[in-house]
Homo-oligomer: A and B are copies of this chain.
Amino acid sequence: MNNSVSIKDIAKKFKCAPSTISRALNDHPAINIETRKTIQEYALKVGYQKNTLSLSLLNNCSMTLGLILPSITHFHESSMLEGLEDILLKSGYLLNICVSNESHTIEKEYIDRLLANRVDGLFISMAQESYDQQLGEHIDRVIQRSLPVIFIDRPNHGVASDRVVTDDYQGAYMATKHLIDMGCLRIAHLHGPSGISVSKQRFLGYQDCLLAHGRKVEEKWIQYVHFSAESAIAATRNLMQLDQKPDGIFGVNDEVCLAAMHVLRDLGISIPQDVAIVGFDDIPLASFGYPPLSSVSRQSRRIGEEAAKLFLSKKTHNKSPITISLDPKLMIRDSSLRVMMN
């Protein structure tokens, strides 16, 4: 079944000790230079490949990391993964990817497997279930092993550890402020799944911005949606059936906004004149919506990069927990850019 050749096999071939082979392959100066050459050439010929598992066992270091995400199909998540990979590739690590599907049970199962495989660290964006039910002891188990745990996007209630996030609050504030600047008087919000930090922070930014500018936060203008486009259909229709229709929408992400624009077009409502709209994430297709969708960029790829760098710095220094918060950027496009006439 397994054809791999080991150091012992090579040792038999040369009738010498495994240690000699090991040293030869690692260019140890104590081994005769010609012996080294001969052994190295033979190893190459027979396709010898070091078995890292034995080393991991010996050194208590597997050069493998774990990444647990609720899902991976959104641009933000996959883009973040690419950022992580980019840095880890250069540092010799491998990454185990685990999709929890927002389930606490699955998350726990994956953590068990990762621990059993002795990963050297863990990046995690907690499942909604774990968050809702305030379940953190599975993460604590990891930290008790003094393994670096780096939280991504979502916070770690109770657990003291590192974090890399975008400042969702600030991003939402900027988006809402922009809508106010564009003359919107009744700004609605497509609120993300409750219990998830991202939803909450974006709502708070929206709320505080309205209050700071003397607006009221009306419950009827807040509709709850999931992160998928479909869920925004009904929500948007609801908004547009109100007596007091909104003239601005801030959505929890771009998918729901693109779906909302779809509904608005259906209803013959012009964007941005009748309703201005701003999303979040700045996915590549935002620019190609009709009209092009204004959006808050989270620098997804950089989140991954910063998380990886944070891990690498922890490996050596082991400082106290820190939070890296990246600034969001507002990308203004036609969906909110009103022709002001005053």
Residues of B within 8 A of A64 (CB): 96, 117
- Give the docked Cα–Cα distance between A77 and B73 (Å): 8
Residues of B within 8 A of A53 (CB): 53, 56-57, 62, 117-118
Q: Does A26 contact B (CB under 8 A)?
A: no
29 CB contacts below 8 A, A to B, read: A1-B146, A2-B60, A4-B118, A47-B145, A49-B112, A49-B115, A50-B116, A52-B113, A52-B116, A52-B118, A53-B117, A53-B118, A64-B117, A67-B97, A71-B82, A72-B82, A73-B82, A81-B99, A86-B99, A89-B109, A94-B96, A94-B113, A228-B284, A229-B284, A229-B285, A258-B288, A259-B288, A262-B292, A265-B290
Q: Does A98 contact B (CB under 8 A)?
A: yes
From B81, B89, B116, A106 is in contact (CB under 8 Å) with B89
Instruction: With both chains docked as a complex, state the minimum distance between the C-beta of A90 and any C-beta of chain B, in angstroms.
Output: 10
Query: Residues of A within 8 Å of B, CB-based: how many?
Result: 65
**Closest partner residue, chain B, to A147 (CB atom):** B2
Residues of B within 8 A of A229 (CB): 284-285, 287-288
Instruction: With both chains docked as a complex, state the minimum distance between the C-beta of A279 and any C-beta of chain B, in angstroms.
Output: 12
- Give the docked Cα–Cα distance between A82 and B49 (Å): 31
